[in-house]
Structure 1
Amino acid sequence: MKIFVTGGSGFIGRHLVRQLVARKHTVKALSRSPNSDMLLHQMGAQPVRGHLHDLPALRAGMEKCDAVFHLAAWYGLGKRRAAQAERINVAGTRNVLHTAHQAGIPRIIYTSTIAVFGDTKGRLVDETYQHAGPFLSEYDRTKWLAHYRVALPLIEQGAPITIVMPGAVYGPGDTSIVHDLMRLFLQGRMPIIPGPETALAYAHVEDVARGHILALEKGKIGESYILAGPVRTMREMAHLWSALGERPAPRLEIPAGLLHPIAPLMGLLETLVDLPAPFTEEAVRSLGATYIARSDKARAELGWEPRPVEEGMRETANSILPYLPPPADADTRRKRSAAALLIAALFTILWLMNRDE
């Protein structure tokens, strides 16, 4: 098949392109830079220079194609990038899906996310679950708009779209908040477990890419398929990551309720400096949330099967550990523990003040 891919140089996209090329498909992929051109060439794909708002480039890339995969998206945490999220996740998706439909592409695979379900409050949901807000991040909100205000209406108009909905995607080369937290625990630099009750449904990037191909080969037009694997809490992941890094797991846990009062402060700081993802207002507000969903439909209809999270995280840790600095000495660890206790005390005071109000 001749296939056009957006987001082909991204985290999931790289794995998808490699797997498509390995299956002898002819792959063209949207590219915004010389570095992206080079990467796509190395993977055996033909780069098409342009962006999500370059309609002539989109039409040229899709010419004579049998299928289109739309993966390109803005992912991150931080309200300073709200306009960028809207432009890429909503307007960009509208451009790609409309162009593909107008071009008569027989199969269109759109990459959504289980984040459109928001915080499920501990409920393990499926594709029928409905959520219309509130949203804990601009990513969640804009991906919801792309899913429910762009993709689904196009399906109703006859567009041959199949939707895939990955969970928390991880693996070697990840640059998400999951990767950032994993590095901290592998290094033993995280003295606390923040929001230990927070839960995610994890899926290895190679499994997610394979799920995209299965959606093309076996998925039904107009249907959505969740690609989410095992559910783990922050507490469970902190202990797993610490063990993989041969570091002691933090003994101190700070429940999400103690941390939520500082979210506005982090939001204020964001107006002044560009905070790392784990310390943004959206990240703090998301503590305690459960982004969890079941993949029964993908397993039954597509034959999709995710690997055990322990196996995938071990592989991911092995790709990170050689590049980490040596472990901290005993004195540094004591200082971090003391700092953690002080932080916990401050959060407790903030929580008590907030409760009294």
Structure 2
Amino acid sequence: MHVFVTGASGWIGSAAVADLLAEGHEVTGLARSDASAAALEAKGAHVRRGDLDDLDSIRAGAENADAVIHLANKHDWSDLAASNAAERAAVQTIGDALVGTGRPFLLASGVAALSQGRPATEADASRFHGPDSPRGGSENLALEFVDRGVHTVSLRFAPTVHGTGDHGFIATLVAIARRTGVSGYPGDGANRWAAVHRADAGRLVTLGLAKAPAGTRLHAVAEEGVPTRTIAEAIGRALELPVTSIAPEDIEGHFGWIGTFFAMDLTATSAVTRELLDWTPTGPTLVEDLDTGAYSAG
């Protein structure tokens, strides 16, 4: 199958592309830089130049492929409105290009804010609709295309997709610990984050393309929830720093923008996904990655 992948050289995308190629798929990746293009070509993938704002390139990539996997996101925390608008426009463009074709359209989403007081499940619908919502309400927008002949599948990733080379949430917490001299956790540290290793997330993308029915929501979750105090303790061990509670009123000042997320309970299950795809995560746990030095360099 010829698969067009946005975010193909990104953290999850590069793992997914490697897995897709290993399974014999032909891959064309969207690349916005020479470095990204070179990395894709070195793996054996084709390159389409463009970025998330280049809707013409995205449309052409979708039209010329047998399937689309949309993993790109600006993640611009200084201008979330622009990030959300770009995400929605890209999803609308891909969906429009695939109407009536029955082709697979897999897109990245997340497990945040799906439920309250319990782990989120695949049955929980996103409550985000419209352009002003997080990610521009892209999951619900994409799923609307199922009724228009598009084989949409939502890929909901855990808040931390961890591993050596990660530059996401955990890497940010490690950097904050280095800067402040302490590894902090919010309040009593009892709130939890779901987690998955990058290799397992990449494998789930390939399996989702092969096996998931239209309209499916998949959860890329290996650990239902790791307490934030446990995360902070592992960071403290890795950096040989003291571990301390950060009072609720001091969370924003200590952690900055990530404090809001680190104080949330972001738990999710993946029982339905595992059974549907025969997906069994085999990568290291988050704490194992921290304890074995995946985040210690730098």
Q: Distance in 2 between matches of 1:310 and 1:192?
A: 17
Q: Which residue matches 2:24?
A: 24
Give 5+ residue unaligned stretches, structure 1: 267-275, 325-357
The answer to whether structure 1 residue 142 and structure 2 residue 134 are counterparts is yes
The answer to whether structure 1 residue 279 and structure 2 residue 273 are counterparts is no
Query: Where do 4+ consecutive residues of structure 1 move more than 6 Å?
Result: none
Q: How does 1:280-319 map to 2 (within 5 A)?
A: 280=257, 283-306=258-281, 307-310=283-286, 313-314=289-290, 318-319=293-294
2:245 counterpart SS class: strand
Higher-Rg member (1/2):
1
Q: Distance in 1 between matches of 2:211 and 2:97?
A: 23
Q: CA deviation at 1:313?
A: 1.6
Normalising to structure 2: TM-score of the pair? Answer: 0.86
1:217 counterpart SS class: helix
Amino acid at match of 1:43: K
1:115 counterpart SS class: coil
Report if aligned partners of 1:183, 1:320 keep a CA contact under 8 Å in 2.
no
Q: Distance in 1 between matches of 2:59 and 2:124?
A: 34
Report if aligned partners of 1:32, 1:51 keep a CA contact under 8 Å in 2.
yes
The 1:320/1:237 distance shift into structure 2, 3 A limit, reads closer
The structure that is strand-richer by fraction is: 2
The answer to whether structure 1 residue 152 and structure 2 residue 159 are counterparts is no
Q: Distance in 1 between matches of 2:286 and 2:57?
A: 42
The structure that is helix-richer by fraction is: 1
Report if aligned partners of 1:165, 1:226 keep a CA contact under 8 Å in 2.
yes
Give 5+ residue unaligned stretches, structure 2: none
Report if aligned partners of 2:107, 2:154 keep a CA contact under 8 Å in 1.
yes
The 1:188/1:243 distance shift into structure 2, 3 A limit, reads farther
Q: How does 1:36-55 map to 2 (within 5 A)?
A: 36-55=36-55
Q: Which residue matches 2:110?
A: 113
The 1:287/1:241 distance shift into structure 2, 3 A limit, reads closer
Report if aligned partners of 1:113, 1:143 keep a CA contact under 8 Å in 2.
no
2:79 counterpart SS class: helix
Count of residues paired in the alignment = 292
**Which one is further off, 50-59 or 106-115?**
50-59
Question: Match for 1:216 among 204, 209, 220?
Answer: 209
Normalising to structure 1: TM-score of the pair? Answer: 0.73
Q: CA RMSD in A?
A: 2.8
Q: How does 1:1-357 map to 2 (within 5 A)?
A: 1-75=1-75, 78=77, 80-101=78-99, 104=101, 106-115=103-112, 117=114, 120-130=115-125, 132=127, 141-143=133-135, 145-148=137-140, 150-168=141-159, 169-185=161-177, 189-190=181-182, 192-195=184-187, 196-230=189-223, 231-245=225-239, 247-250=240-243, 252-256=244-248, 258-259=249-250, 263=252, 278-280=255-257, 283-306=258-281, 307-310=283-286, 313-314=289-290, 318-321=293-296, 323-324=297-298
